[in-house]
Amino acid sequence: MKFFFKFTLLLFILISQSSSAKNNNTLYEKLDLFSDVLEKINKEYVKDVDQSEVIDAAINGMLQSLDPFSSYMSPESFKNMNVDTKGEFGGLGIEITMEKGFVKVISPMEDSPADRVGIKPGDYIIKINDKQVKGLNIIEAVNLMRGKVGTSIKITIRREDVDDDLSFTIVRDIIKVREVTSAIKEEIGYLRLRAFNEQSSDQLLSKIKDLSKTNKDIKGYILDLRNNPGGLLSQAVKISDAFLDSGEIVSIRGRNKDDIKIYTAKKGDVLNGKPLVVLINRGSASASEIVSGALKDHKRAILLGEKTFGKGSVQTIIPLKDKGGLRLTTAKYYLPSGTSISEIGVEPDISVKENKTDFKINDDKKDNQLQYALNLFRG
């Protein structure tokens, strides 16, 4: 019981310090109601409950009512937060978010365990090893999916336009991210960017330089951002800048009117004005949307494929006294046109849906979106 009263007293003090006198009465009433509910659960629920877990769930409910990307991290989750794509880890190879109480797949990493069994952008994960996902936060879901390399996990998903739920057994593996690959396809430079990590811009520029040196007759380029879940803002700005001569790339706007940061391009187009087609789909998110949106707004590239995911917000990690942390949305991205990416996405100039059967990215026979892009250059 002391735990409950300490928690509600802390909330009471924090909120009363940050609120105007006009709102205090309502806040006090809500906090009193919250304390009353906690007490009733503790005394009358059908079985004993872990008070700490109940409080954590209450905090997460509060944060998830704000948006799908804000969440609470327990001390253990906060400690493990940096186990990500900087190194190697045992997992499934998917980028996820929360939506409608379920885990939503932003995109599977190319050639990852999830990609190989057929997980697609937009899939909703509703069960993990027969455990219902609804009610979990994103950190808890991630922890359930991680595990020892070589162990298997059963994932049940719900897919748009498919009547029955689908189940997949996936074997966890070491996840390695190959950020940039390139090729020449019919005198067109093809650049596949899978993530925006620390070396992405340097690798991309190096690939362009190598292609132009060895192929003097390149007619144009295709930048493939499909199933690229994003990454570092700095890399999105550098890559956008590489294709632009001037103008705004992206702005970040916070809660206050004066809380705005604008990123602009410097003179110098690495392609020297050669035509550029950017491939996008539902798995293109965050940094991918900044690049594709900026190039579209400046009419520097033709966007082809499907509307992007719509992940246009900035999350700040805030340490807490219990050694846990908050992942809190503190700003949003805006394109040069002034349009917010958040929950809207970027529309392609040319809409081409992927073949529902027998589709594979960057396969000369099975990638109908890539073939459409190549046809644009053929005239």
Convert 152-179 to b/e letters by CB count within 10 Å (16 or more is b): ebebbbebeeeeeebebebebbebebeb
From residue 257, alpha-carbon distances to 25, 253, 304, 331 in Å are: 29, 8, 34, 11
Active-site position among 297, 313, 342, 367 = 297
Q: Strand 325-334 relative to strand 248-253: parallel, antiparallel, unpaired?
A: antiparallel
Q: Is 286 tagged catalytic?
A: yes
The reply to whether 311 belongs to the active site is yes
Annotated catalytic residue 182: no
Q: Which of 74, 286, 292, 313 is catalytic?
A: 286
Name the token pair of 267. 């003179």
As a whole number of Å, the end-to-end CA separation of the chain is 74
Q: Which of 56, 240, 311, 342 is catalytic?
A: 311
Q: Which of 348, 372, 181, 186 is nearest to 281 (CA)?
A: 348
Other C-beta atoms lying within 10 Å of the C-beta of residue 51? 16
Distance separating alpha carbons of residues 90 and 354, to the nearest angstrom: 30
CB-CB contact of 89 with 83 (8 Å):
yes
Angle at 109 between CA 253 and CA 374, to 5 degrees: 90
Token code pair at residue 367: 């990638």
Evaluate whether 351 touches 302 at the Cβ level (below 8 Å).
Answer: no
Positions annotated as catalytic residues are: 286, 297, 311
